[in-house]
Amino acid sequence: MGKAARFFAAGFDTAAIGILAYNETGGRFAATLAEYVLWGSVLAAAICAIVILLERGAPLAWIAIGYILFGGLPTQGSPHYAFILLALALAPMVPRPRGSLGLGIAIAAVSALVSRVAIAFAP
């Protein structure tokens, strides 16, 4: 799949999660944990689209995918299949850090766990 097709697909995913976030939150931003996760996932998907376009910053894209996976982790109101599906849709489109899928998955896993811990301590 070419860069333009991957960018378009990631942009579509970003718009879809953005529409979902807007509908679920009524346009509010960051009033609850669920809103942090929804709007954060919109930003993370947009970061992935930008990384695809620039073909630079693969680790950043995998950190963003990890944040999206964080939304699918066992939390209040879980399971969140949409987040898992979004992460799975973006993963094959973003560049791999140092050409390694395993390293990308490891970065995403650590990012998801760090996001979970960080949100637990958020005010």
Contact at 8 Å (CB) between 46 and 89?
A: no
Q: Give me the residue label for tokens 């094959």.
A: 92
Handedness of CA 6, 10, 13, 19 (dihedral sign): negative
Dump pLDDT digits (tens) for 43-88. Answer: 999 999 999 999 999 999 999 999 998 888 766 655 578 888 999 9
Please state, for a pLDDT cut of 90, what percent of the chain lies above it.
Answer: 56
**DSSP letter (8 states) at residue 93:** T
In whole angstroms, give the CA distance from residue 118 to residue 61.
19
Q: What is the pLDDT of residue 5?
A: 95
**Burial (Cβ within 10 Å: 0-12, 13-18, ≥19) of residue 22:** middle
Q: pTM of the entire structure? A: 0.88
